Amino acid sequence: MIELKDSRALIPAVSMKRDGKVANAIFKYLAFSAAILIPTIVVLIFVILFIEAYPAIKTFGFWHFITSKSWNAVDNHFGALTPLFGSVYVTFWALVIATPISIGIAVYITELAPQWFKPIISSAIELLAAIPTVTYGMWGLFVLAPVMQNYIEPWILNNLSTLPVIGFLFNGPGIGIDTFTTSIILSIMITPFMSSLIKDAFNLVPRVVKESAYGLGATRWEVIKKVVMPYTSSGILGAGIFAVGRALGETMAVSFVNGNNHNPGSLSDMLSLLNSVTTITVTLADEFTEAMTHLYLSALFYLALILLSISFTTLALAKILVWRIEKKWQR
């Protein structure tokens, strides 16, 4: 004979089930809110920048604004070519300097360093990321710039400025406050980030893959070149893109050593590593307090909108490239 359970015993179970559904629903909406928060903030930033920049957009347009070198607050005529070019150019040379150094650091830590030394060198490099950017800027202005002015750049002017084809890169006043010094400062700042990310990518290479290569008679250099580097190409690319974003957004360190020159001269002068430049971030930081007219302030917001658009475009292209590389390796 089957005994019926007391219905009162089922009440706690039903109540717990109902409470569990409510808790799940609340958790679901909270998680959704957290996930949608960042995209919402980004969209709001774009909207606010566009609204504030609209007077400058209406006055100068897009093509004229990004191709004009004029930056004249007296005549209320502004162009973004010089700071836009300076941001991209300085970042390019910082990446050129930092990439081989970062890869070398990552290779040494993961493949060559003794086991006891790895945490020491890793911690020492990562500590560079904790140094405030203003400290980098002051060090660059009071230490690196005089060394560049008195020793390195005179040698460059005497020996490299006369080279065919690339000699124009090494012409300029050579006073130490220029693109070259700025690129070195930025490369020092982004190296800890790049090397840490590349090191983590190298550590993800399966040990069996490397041991198989050694078993086939490959040398350590061949394993690094033909196994580790191709296997982690997407990680290296991602580290480079992350470093580009870091360099594009840097302000304080750059403002100390770049010269903030809105009129660098001809194209060859702009391309010279020994000539002073300006960047979008430095222009924004230095001139917001000086923007006395509405159009001047709107032009600065226009620069900020362009910088944000460049950062997002770079990130999107990086995601596409990384996705294609990973898809290729999965085949």
Task: Dump the DSSP string for 177-240.
Answer: -SHHHHHHHHHHHHHHHHHHHHHHHHHTS-HHHHHHHHHTT--HHHHIIIIIHHHTHHHHHHHH
Q: Give a yes or no: residue 28 inside a domain.
A: no
CATH of the domain at 181: 1.10.3720.10
The region that residue 120 occupies, defined by phi over 0 for left and psi between -120 and 50 for alpha, beta otherwise, is alpha
**C-alpha span between 303 and 299 (Å, rounded):** 6
Whether 34 maps to a domain, the answer reads no
Q: Is a pLDDT exceeding 90 seen at residue 320?
A: no
Does some domain include residue 23? Answer: no
Confidence (pLDDT) at 1: 45
Of 79 and 25, the structure prediction assigns the larger pLDDT to: 79
Of 53-62, 75-84, 290-299, 317-326, the poorest mean pLDDT is in: 317-326
pLDDT at 105: 92
DSSP calls for 28-87: HHHHHHHHHHHHHHHHHHHHHHHHHHHHHHHHH-SHHHHH---EETTTTEE--HHHHHHH
pLDDT computed for residue 242 by the predictor? 82
Domain with 158, as residue range(s), is 82-260+269-278
The pLDDT value given to residue 2: 47
pLDDT over threshold 80, residue 21: no
Question: What average pLDDT does this structure show over 289-313?
Answer: 89
Instruction: Give the pTM.
Output: 0.85
> Structural domain tally of the chain?
1
Query: Which of these ranges, 104-108, 204-208, 320-324, has the smallest mean pLDDT?
Result: 320-324
Q: Would 55 be classed as within a structural domain? A: no
- Domain assignment present for residue 53? The answer is no
Q: State how far the alpha carbon of 131 is from the alpha carbons of 41, 173, 303, 317, in Å.
A: 28, 30, 28, 30
Look at residue 205 in the predicted model and tell me its pLDDT: 84
Residues 253, 185 contacting (CB under 8 angstroms): yes
What's the pLDDT at 325? 64
Grade residue 45 by pLDDT with cuts at 50, 70 and 90: very high
Residue 77 belongs to some domain of the structure: no
Residues contacting 310, CB < 8 A, separation 6+:
87, 88, 248
**How far, in Å, are 40, 65, 311, 320, 321 from residue 325 at the CA level?**
30, 36, 21, 9, 6
Identify whether 102 is part of a domain.
yes
Helix and strand tally (H, E) in the chain? 16, 2
Indicate whether 215 belongs to any domain. yes
Please check the confidence at residue 289 and state whether its pLDDT lies above 90: no
The confidence score (pLDDT) of residue 7 equals 52
Count of Cβ atoms closer than 10 Å to residue 74 Cβ: 5
The conformation of residue 289, written as its DSSP 8-state character, comes to G
Q: What is the mean pLDDT of the chain?
A: 85
Could you give the CA distance from residue 254 to residue 259 in angstroms, rounded to a whole number?
9
